[in-house]
Amino acid sequence: MTHERPPGRSIIGRNPVLEALKAGTAISRIVLMNTAEGSVIQEIKSFARRQGIQVQEMPKQEFVGFARDEKAQGVVALAAEQQTLDLSTLISHSKTRQESGFIILPDQIEDPGNLGALIRTAECAGAHGLVLTKHHSASLSSGAIKASAGATEHLRIAVVSNLVNAILELKENGFWIVGLEMAGERMYTEVDYSGSTAIVVGSERRGIRRLVREHCDFLVRIPILGKISSLNASVAGALLMYEVRRQRTPAHG
């Protein structure tokens, strides 16, 4: 039996679907493999029931064909397209927070898994948002959503055509631009992140593009002491994001 998908996107995996439900994402239907069980599946069913969302169960073979992903963990949510913002709206939102701005700018990160992991860390580290470019970046695909463990449903995401223009707009609004580069002139712990900060994270293979690099106020590096020449982009981004958070979190005791 063939099941046609309605227009929109698929959210795949237990935690991503649960987080989408918690975030109030517009979901039209949830499809479960009829043998799926466990506490998260029960939570999904409970949230869906309270929100009036249809839950459909399918036999394993039928579900696998529908999900088109062997790692779907027995659940797929059919949702409205991802809601993204323009940059000015994201900056305005950042100004309403009770701290200086904190925005993430991926550059040339084309792997959905890396992008999703970066989004997950940004949300966990309390970043105010993330800026994607229409080109030179992975999209918010089902793979990126799954790798984010549902963080795409909570973190505000803006989409722009040109990252350099986005950087200029951020600077006009008082942001310092910090690029993460292997050859950065400063250690990542040597910059003051107490002011509004936008962090540029390039891919581990190609780094940050030249024009983007030239518009950064600071280029910082993370020490590499082993034989491998670079960190995974999402790991490097995580270290820098949590340095921002460390500096902004008052010490206790």
Domain ranges of the chain: 9-79, 87-248
How far apart (Å, rounded) are the C-alpha atoms in residues 18 and 74? 13
Q: What is the mean pLDDT of residues 28-34?
A: 92
The residue ranking higher by pLDDT, 57 or 71, is 57
How far apart (Å, rounded) are the C-alpha atoms in residues 89 and 46? 34
pLDDT over 60 at 4, yes or no: no
φ, ψ for residue 71, nearest 5 deg = -105, 30
Strand, coil or helix: 98: coil
Contact by Cβ (8 Å): 182, 207 = yes
pLDDT digits (tens, 9 = 90+) for 145-170: 888 988 988 999 999 999 999 999 99
Beta strands in the chain (DSSP E): 9-12, 27-33, 54-58, 75-79, 102-107, 129-133, 157-160, 176-180, 186-187, 197-202, 218-221
| Model pLDDT, residue 198 | 98
pLDDT digits (tens, 9 = 90+) for 79-136: 888 778 899 999 999 999 989 999 999 999 989 999 999 999 999 999 999 999 988 7
How far apart (Å, rounded) are the C-alpha atoms in residues 100 and 124? 17
Distance of CA 218 to the CA centre of its chain: 23
Q: What is the mean pLDDT of residues 24-48?
A: 92
Ramachandran class of 136: left when φ > 0, alpha when ψ lies in -120 to 50, beta otherwise: left
**Domain 87-248 class, CATH top level:** alpha beta
Strand, coil or helix: 203: strand
Q: What is the mean pLDDT of residues 206-221?
A: 93
Contact by Cβ (8 Å): 107, 202 = yes
How far apart (Å, rounded) are the C-alpha atoms in residues 208 and 195? 22
| Model pLDDT, residue 3 | 53
* pLDDT confidence band for 183 (50 / 70 / 90): confident
Contact by Cβ (8 Å): 173, 102 = no
Distances (CA, A) of 11 to 48, 63, 145: 14, 14, 7
Ramachandran class of 73: left when φ > 0, alpha when ψ lies in -120 to 50, beta otherwise: left
DSSP string over 132-147: EESSSS--S-HHHHHH
Would you state the structure tokens that stand for residue 230, as one six-digit string?
């670079």
Would you state the structure tokens that stand for residue 85, as one six-digit string?
């913002």
Assess if CATH 3.30.1330.30 describes domain 9-79.
Answer: yes
